[in-house]
């Protein structure tokens, strides 16, 4: 299964595309959509949506996964993050992709085995799981790949549970 993972942000939205059978994962592409903080929010959201559409068109994922909004430093920051997440969710829905949403705790537990892991630990485990020579340079892209890995592994576990019933 090809999965697109998205780590939302208004200045930097990470994305990562993997091929996975739920146990073994292969990196297809990882990157960051960068926006200019001086631009109006609506133009930044447009940039995020257009860029994610291009990634979806280029790689044709079967599913997408997005990190859920968690507490932010202040309400204004949380609202901006929610807007970026909304742009990502709309883009995923437009493409008709299966969607998974995971808390940061779920993603870290799935990838690192510890829900309070540091970003650097997530980067190292993502590189290890993908058998890369080194970590993905951008934390945002690495986090997005971690979300994709979480979705792929969670999906397999859920399918096994359904069979067991």
Residues designated catalytic: 7, 67, 140
The residue with tokens 């929610």 is 82
List beta partners, residue 15: 6, 31
* Token pair for 17: 């595309």
Distance of CA 49 to the CA centre of its chain: 14
3-state secondary structure of 130: coil
Residues 65, 121, 118: CA angle, nearest 5 degrees: 85
| Phi, psi values for residue 18, rounded to 5° | -130, 155
């Amino acid at each position: 299964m090809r999965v697109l993972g998205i780590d939302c942000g208004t200045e930097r939205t990470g994305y990562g595309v993997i091929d996975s059978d739920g146990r073994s994962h292969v990196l297809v592409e990882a990157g960051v959509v960068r926006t200019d903080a001086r631009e109006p929010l609506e133009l930044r959201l447009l940039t995020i949506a257009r860029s994610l559409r291009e990634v979806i068109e280029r790689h044709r994922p079967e599913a997408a996964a997005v990190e859920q909004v968690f507490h932010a430093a202040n309400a204004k920051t949380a609202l901006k993050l929610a807007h970026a997440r909304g742009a990502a969710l709309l883009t995923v829905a437009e493409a008709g992709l299966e969607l998974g949403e995971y808390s940061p705790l779920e993603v870290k537990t799935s990838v690192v085995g510890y829900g309070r892991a540091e970003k650097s630990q997530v980067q190292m485990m993502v590189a290890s799981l993908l058998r890369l020579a080194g970590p993905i340079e951008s934390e945002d892209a690495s986090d997005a790949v971690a979300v994709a890995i979480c979705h792929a592994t969670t999906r397999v576990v859920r399918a096994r549970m359904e069979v067991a019933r």
